[in-house]
């Protein structure tokens, strides 16, 4: 039963898409192939020229951009290093406490056996 419902839905969807496509083909054929306005690249070039002309906003050079990216990576790596150092310190403290605790219990066992 479920398979029949899925099949009917699939066929209905395909028929709907075919009908929509056949209705839109004449409209698409009437459209001219040449764009009426300036292309995207021309508009993008004009915008870049306007940005370069403005005094307040200058595009950074590639070297400056690279310096900023590398400095951010360095800061990120230093943060990670400090976090790992902190985790190592905590782990060492925990291990040291555990060893001290074990020594205490061993000494206690030895003192009990002697009596």
SS3 state of residue 1: coil
The ranges assigned to domains in the chain are 1-31, 59-115
Q: What is the DSSP string of 26-62?
A: HHHHHS-SS-SS--HHHHHHHHHHHHHH-SS--PPPH
8 A C-beta contact, residue 59 and residue 51: yes
pLDDT for res 5: 93
pLDDT tier, 83 (very low <50, low <70, confident <90, very high otherwise):
very high
Q: Max alpha carbon distance in the chain (Å)?
A: 108
Q: What is the pLDDT of residues 22-48, one digit of tens each?
A: 898 888 778 766 556 667 788 888 887
Q: Give residue-wise pLDDT tens across range 103-115.
A: 888 887 888 877 6
Compute the CA torsion angle 91, 97, 99, 101 (nearest 10 deg): -150
Q: C-alpha distances in angstroms, 44 versus 38, 49, 59?
A: 10, 9, 15
């Amino acid at each position: 039963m479920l398979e029949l419902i899925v099949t009917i839905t699939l066929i209905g969807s395909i028929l709907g898409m075919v009908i929509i496509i056949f209705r839109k083909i004449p409209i698409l054929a009437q459209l001219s192939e040449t764009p009426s306005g300036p292309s995207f690249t021309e508009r993008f070039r004009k915008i870049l020229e306007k940005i370069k002309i403005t005094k307040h906003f200058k595009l950074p050079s590639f070297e400056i951009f690279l310096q900023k990216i590398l400095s951010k990576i360095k800061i990120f790596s230093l943060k990670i290093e400090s976090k790992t150092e902190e985790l190592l310190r905590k782990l060492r403290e925990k291990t040291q406490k555990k060893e001290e605790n074990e020594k205490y219990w061993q000494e206690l066992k030895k003192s009990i056996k002697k009596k």
